[in-house]
Chain A
Amino acid sequence: MEDGIKKFLYVNRKAPYGTIYALEALEVVLIGAAFDQDVSLAFLDDGVFQLTKGQNTDGIGVKNFSPTFRALGDYDVNKLYVERESLEERGLTEDDLQEIMYEDEDDDWAEKPSIRIISRAEMADLMHDQDVILSF
Chain B
Amino acid sequence: MSTLHTVNKSPFSTQSLLSCINHAKDGDAILMIEDGVYGAAAGTGVASVVAEKAGAIKFYVLAPDLAARGIDTSRLLDGVEAVDYAGFVALAAEHDRAQAWL
Contacts and interface: CB of A to CB of B under 8 A. Distances in A.
Whether A and B touch (Cβ < 8 Å) is answered with yes
A52 interface: no
B1 to A, nearest CB: 7
Contacts of A136: 102
B93 to A, nearest CB: 15
Interface string B57-68: 000000000000
Contacts of B97: 130-133
Nearest to A125: B25
Contacts of A128: 1, 3, 25
Contact of B23 (A127, A130, A131, A132): A127
Say which size band chain A's interface belongs to: 10 to 19
B22 A11 contact: no
Interface string B1-40: 1010000000000010001001111000000000000000
B99 A11 contact: yes
Interface string A30-66: 0000000000000011000000000000000000000
Contact of A45 (B1, B19, B24, B100): B19
A120 interface: yes
A128 B24 CA distance: 8
Interface in A112-136: 120, 123-124, 127-128, 130-133, 135-136
B71 interface: no
Nearest to A85: B22
A13 interface: yes
A128 B19 CA distance: 15
Contact of B19 (A44, A131, A132, A133): A44
Contact of A13 (B1, B22, B25, B102): B102
Given A45-B15, A127-B3, A128-B3, A133 B99 contact: yes
Interface of A: 11, 13, 44-45, 120, 123-124, 127-128, 130-133, 135-136
10 contacts: A13-B101, A44-B23, A45-B15, A45-B19, A123-B23, A124-B22, A127-B23, A128-B3, A133-B99, A135-B102
